[in-house]
């Protein structure tokens, strides 16, 4: 049976470097606090009004396309994962198609959410399309422009210091060789959906599961996307229950990695490179310890880029590959956890 291989990979991060010291000027935080709790030293921010999630995604895509040795016109499906889209709708899939100037191809463009698990979810979808024979050159992009949607006051400091901008992309193709995606495992549990979320504006109108939870009961018809109260309260930014996210992540990461290894009759010692979603260096280190992996079996770059959500795995994977740390025949494990909660893993024979 055909497998799906990564035929080309690329990433793009904006030029503007934001060290922790720059955030200290904007909110009550410190370089020590950020580094000690998250490992992050700096992140990148895109140029407002010039760069967007779509334009960054297109730049990463162009590199992946070139490395795959194909033309842009050869792409026959676009899958775009982001939680920070340019518009509420349409999604970034069609926007990146236009940015890449391949609208004449009229190929389908699929937008997926799944936040920090977006890239692994996208890989799983692409794998199914390739195996079905429906598509032969799938462009999968994970891209985020978080900097335009964060709260740069003290109130948002626990979230804002973590996130950065960037994009990663891969071209996926069928292969008959002993390589490619061995398996993907995806999971979700919506119980704690609001514990790591960007809720307003939205059509919930103030109600959550029948409860007057958010305090915006004024909207009967229309006007529910942005009420005056939301604006006055500045309740229009992402929120996170950091401790719950941390506790759940350190359980689910190892669980879903073991699930992947078991289903392929492999062990942690078989992993050449684990590329975890870059949520927090402490989470990655915890996962590394619980799996008994050595330092050279895990790739971390959150120190430089912060958490770039759907982009974090393809950026890290590309960096590891460019650094010569992933070679042909290596077993690569990708694992993600994030808002939803959603989580997943992918095992790839490179």
Ligand X SMILES: CC(C)(COP(=O)(O)OP(=O)(O)OC[C@H]1O[C@@H](n2cnc3c(N)ncnc32)[C@H](O)[C@@H]1OP(=O)(O)O)[C@@H](O)C(=O)NCCC(=O)NCCS
Check residue 344 for interaction with ligand X (CB under 6 A): no
Which residue lies nearest ligand X, judged by its C-beta?
Answer: 242
In three-state secondary structure terms, 116 is helix
> In angstroms, rounded to a whole number, what is the distance separating the alpha carbons of residues 160 and 264?
39
Q: Of the residues 200, 307, 318, 333, which is catalytic?
A: 307
Residue 116 among the catalytic residues: yes
| Residues 6+ positions from 200 with CB-CB distance below 8 Å | 214, 216, 226, 230, 235, 236
Asked if 157 is part of the footprint of ligand X (rule: CB under 6 A), the reply reads yes
**Biggest CA pair distance of the chain:** 60
Asked if 245 interacts with ligand X (CB under 6 A), we say yes
Q: Does 25 bind ligand X (CB under 6 A)?
A: no
The catalytic position among 146, 185, 277, 301 is: 277
Residue whose pair of structure tokens reads 């409860």 in the numeric block: 211
Between the alpha carbon of residue 156 and those of residues 153, 204, 215, 230, the distances in Å are: 6, 22, 19, 15
185 is catalytic: no
Q: How many residues does the chain have?
A: 350
Residue ranges in 161-190 that form contacts with ligand X under rule CB under 6 A? 161-162
208 is catalytic: no
The CB-of-15 to ligand X minimum distance in angstroms stands at 24
Pinpoint the alpha helices (H) of the chain: 20-24, 31-38, 53-68, 92-99, 118-132, 157-160, 228-233, 242-263, 281-291, 302-305, 312-322
- Binding letters toward ligand X, positions 259-298, x by CB under 6 A: --------------------xx--x---------------
Closer residue to ligand X (CB): 42 or 173:
42
Q: Determine, following the binding rule CB under 6 A, whether residue 158 of this chain makes contact with ligand X.
A: yes
Question: To the nearest whole angstrom, how small is the minimum distance from the Cβ of residue 38 to ligand X?
Answer: 5
Residue 230 engages ligand X in binding (rule: CB under 6 A): no
Question: Taking CB under 6 A as the rule, does residue 149 contact ligand X?
Answer: no
81 binds ligand X (CB under 6 A): no
Residue 73 CA from chain centroid, whole number = 26
Site for ligand X in 98-117 (CB under 6 A): 116
In the chain, the N- to C-terminal Cα span, in Å, equals 17
Nearest Cα neighbor of 14 from 62, 50, 65, 66 is: 50
Catalytic residues: 116, 277, 307
Interface contacts to ligand X, rule CB under 6 A:
29, 33, 37-38, 116, 157-158, 161-162, 196, 240, 242-243, 245-246, 279-280, 283, 307, 338
């Amino acid at each position: 049976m055909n497998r799906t291989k990564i035929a080309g990979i690329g990433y793009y991060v904006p030029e503007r470097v934001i060290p922790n010291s720059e955030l200290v000027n904007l909110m009550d935080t410190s370089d020590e606090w950020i580094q000690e709790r998250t490992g992050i030293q700096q992140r990148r921010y895109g140029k407002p009004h010039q760069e967007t999630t779509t334009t960054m995604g297109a730049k990463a895509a162009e590199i992946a396309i070139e490395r795959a040795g194909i033309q842009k016109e050869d792409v026959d499906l676009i899958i775009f994962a982001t939680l920070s889209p340019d518009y509420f709708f349409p999604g970034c899939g069609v926007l990146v198609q236009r940015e890449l100037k391949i609208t004449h191809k009229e190929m389908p463009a699929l937008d997926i959410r799944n936040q920090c698990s977006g890239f692994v979810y996208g890989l799983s979808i692409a794998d199914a399309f390739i195996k079905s024979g429906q598509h032969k050159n799938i462009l999968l992009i994970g891209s985020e422009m978080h900097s335009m949607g964060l709260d740069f006051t003290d109130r948002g400091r626990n979230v804002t210091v973590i996130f950065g901008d960037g994009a990663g992309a891969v071209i996926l193709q069928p292969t008959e060789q002993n390589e490619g995606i061995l398996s993907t495992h995806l999971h979700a549990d919506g119980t704690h959906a609001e514990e790591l979320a960007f809720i307003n504006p939205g059509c919930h109108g103030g109600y959550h599961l029948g409860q007057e939870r958010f305090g915006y009961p004024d909207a009967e018809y229309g006007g529910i996307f942005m009420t005056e109260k939301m604006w006055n309260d500045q309740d229009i930014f992402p929120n996170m229950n950091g401790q719950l996210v941390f506790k759940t992540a350190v359980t689910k990461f190892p669980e879903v990695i073991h699930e992947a290894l078991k289903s392929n009759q492999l062990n942690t010692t078989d992993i050449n490179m684990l590329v975890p979603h870059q949520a927090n260096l402490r989470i990655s280190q915890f996962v590394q310890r619980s799996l008994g992996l050595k330092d050279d079996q895990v790739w971390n770059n959150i120190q430089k880029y912060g958490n770039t959500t759907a982009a974090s795995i393809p950026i890290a994977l590309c960096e590891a590959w460019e650094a010569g740390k992933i070679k042909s025949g290596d077993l690569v494990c990708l694992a993600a956890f994030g808002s939803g909660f959603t989580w997943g893993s992918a095992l790839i024979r490179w």
